[in-house]
Amino acid sequence: MKYYQRSSQLFKEAQSVIPGGVNSPVRAFKAVGGTPVFIEKAKGAYLYDVDGNRLIDYINSWGPMILGHAYPAVVDAVVKKAKKGTSFGMPTEIETNIAALAISMVPNIDKIRFVNSGTEACMSAVRLARGFSNREKIIKFAGCYHGHSDSFLIQAGSGAVTFGSPNSPGVTQGTAKDTLLAPYNNLEAVKHILEANIDQIAAIIVEPVAGNMGCIPPAAGFLEGLRALCDTHNSVLIFDEVMTGFRLEKGGVQSLFGVAADIVCFGKVIGGGLPVGAFASRDEIMRCLAPEGPVYQAGTLSGNPLAMSAGHALLSALNSDSEIYDRLAKKTTYLKRGISKALMEHNIPHTINSIGSMLSVHFSETAVVDFNTASIADNNHFKQFFHGMLDAGVYVPPSAFESWFITDALSYEDLDFTIKAVETVANKLCEL
């Protein structure tokens, strides 16, 4: 049994000065109950909390720590750059260096603009698509998360061809009317919406591998179908690769599935763990962006030298390691098989989705292919699973609707430890 006395104390103190005690809602453990764990430090595959507990980490800062926490090349790059100044609000050479490196790694992009978060990247990509197409409406998919910009905080309306409604106070009906929703992995629904809104759809934005309803890969032909529909209707196809970019493959999902996007959004890995986002496209589209074109986008701290140095160091390491993605996929498969075997032996209904170094466990017998099927899983089982794993020394996402992220720093001993923990937890779950 692990104890979290100091974490509990710090959470109480945080609640008095920070809304909900956290700076991002998922950290508050609302989905699983209990007190959030406060972290003191991390190294490699491990988190060390303020109570002295060591935890094997399967969120890895929600994706960026693909090579492990405090990766030496990244730390060294940041420290070296910090000694020369932390921010200038002026151009630096490192911005050009990481831009050139990213463009060399990712297909179908000529230019890239750096921002400060994945939210900024997706928000700016949609604005650029609207400016380029001279249209206003977009299609997004239920359960896909593109940050907390107003355009993305929309839930389903009364029908597939109607606009959605705000799912957060502060988001206007005027914003909602320009956001149309479709079920993920459902091409027919997308086709129906496009045909009902001829010459009105600026863009389709999609997580090409969904990571915010658990890990949900695209169905066969889904991405290819979106590409064809966008070509037919002269709409811009935006891949939100904030999670998947540089994680599933050097060139992201475009390389993995051989499907070209018009605009690609990045975050997470591209910043090496520091706050960074980016969006990229071919020159024809990027020329519309200020100061070259009329579509305005700016950021005081965009291209921050510390973040650019961290990202450049991490991308360089990934780019030079020809076996990294194969190693990650093998570790993920090993873990998936071990978890599934442990749950099957205790007759616990489950579905495990995985692709590359992303994975999620759903306590459901139904295949999880979209938000609806993810929602019917047994959340009570997940709560018990989460806290059981935490007690065993393994930190998994504190929500059934979040993907796990595998790091290369994990050893097979770590994976075996994790599988053994699942066996222990499964024994308790079968008693519920």
Q: Which residues are catalytic?
A: 145, 240, 268
Cα gap 117→83, rounded to integer Å: 24
How many other C-beta atoms can be found within 10 angstroms of the C-beta atom of residue 65? 26
Query: Phi and psi at residue 180, in whole multiples of 5°?
Result: -105, 140
Helix (H) / strand (E) containing 342: helix 324-345
Cα gap 205→3, rounded to integer Å: 43
Apex CA 224: angle with CA 223 and CA 226, to 5°?
Answer: 65
Residue 21's region, left for phi above 0, alpha for psi from -120 to 50, else beta, is left
**The residue to which tokens 């780019």 are assigned:** 319
AA letter at 287: R
Pick from 216, 146, 245: which is nearest to 371 by CA?
216
DSSP states along 223-281: HHHHHHHHHHHT-EEEEE-TTTBTTTBTTHHHHHHT---SEEEE-GGGGTTSS-EEEEE
DSSP code of residue 38: P
Cα gap 44→122, rounded to integer Å: 30
Tokens of 222: 């889904």
Query: Phi and psi at residue 255, in whole multiples of 5°?
Result: -75, -40
Whole-angstrom CA distances from 412 to 47, 268, 338, 409 are: 17, 25, 11, 10
Pick from 265, 260, 198, 287: which is nearest to 235 by CA?
198
Spatial CB neighbours of 419, under 8 Å, sequence gap ≥ 6? 335, 338, 339, 341, 342
Tokens of 72: 């030496």
Pick from 152, 144, 206, 148: which is nearest to 178 by CA?
152
Q: Are 33 and 383 in contact (CB under 8 A)?
A: yes
Tokens of 378: 């047994």
